[in-house]
Amino acid sequence: MELINSGTSDDLKWSVTATNDLTCSNDLTSGEYYHPKKCQPINKLSGNSGDVKKYAEILKDIDDMVAYANDEGNTDSVKKVISTLKGQYETYLSGYTGALENFLSIIHRITDLVREYSGDGDAFAFLNGKFIGTNLKIILKYLKYSLGVDLYTVGLCLNIVGCSLVLSVSATILLIILINLDLKKNMDMKKLANTGVSEFQSNYPQIPVQPKF
């Protein structure tokens, strides 16, 4: 609009801060401005040529795009799409909070069984289940910052944890086998030492070693 105002040879001015009700059919007086919503420059400068007319056409295109984006009657408009998404998101949040309320009601039914026997500051105060509420908040917080931000990273971490568990279980089993073998070897050696039996007579078949000449 500054380029239009400075480029036209007529005393025509536009401003988005204009508060009058002037339309393109009205004439401006000194110090007055048209508001582009009530009078597009292209409608007043249609007979002009050059840069001023191009600027007026650009301003008209921008205004048309803004009007289209805010048209709630059009299913493809930005405002309509966002309004629909907002409604769907509110429905999702309502279902999510409903599930949490159901979860909390179940937790309360469990904690109410011991609530009358517990109290704050007592040795068994942990029975009041307050830690469950704290843990629930922590879980929800990490769900928000993990699943809500980067689901791929969470899945990758779960895969790494799963592989680590497999390796740890396998290593534990292997360690137990090695310990059992070493334990059996020690028991056999003690048994041989106590009975005086030749070490060639063990629990496993042995192949006699032939002397070399």
Q: Is pLDDT of 213 > 50?
A: no
Angle CA 207–209–213, to nearest 5 = 150
Lowest mean pLDDT among 48-57, 64-73, 196-205: 196-205
Q: Is 49 exposed, middle or buried (0-12, 13-18, 19+ CB in 10 A)?
A: exposed
The residue among 192, 194, 173, 174 whose CA lies nearest residue 184 is 192
Confidence of residue 204 (pLDDT cuts 50, 70, 90): very low
Residue 210 pLDDT > 60: no
Cα 182–chain centre separation: 51
Q: Give the Cα separation of 100 and 105 in Å (integer).
A: 9
Q: Whole-angstrom Cα distance, residue 44 to residue 136?
A: 65
Contact 34, 44 (CB under 8 A): yes
The arithmetic mean of pLDDT across residues 103-116, rounded, is 73
pTM, 2 dp? 0.40
Looking at residue 30, its amino acid is S
pLDDT at 100 over 50: yes
Query: Is residue 85 scored above 80 in pLDDT?
Result: yes
Residue 197: pLDDT over 60:
no
What is the distance between the alpha carbons of residues 113 and 128, in angstroms, rounded to a whole number? 9
Taking every pair of C-alpha atoms in the chain, what is the biggest distance, in angstroms? Answer: 131
* Residue 74, both tokens: 């059009």
Distance (Å, whole) CA 106 – CA 116: 17
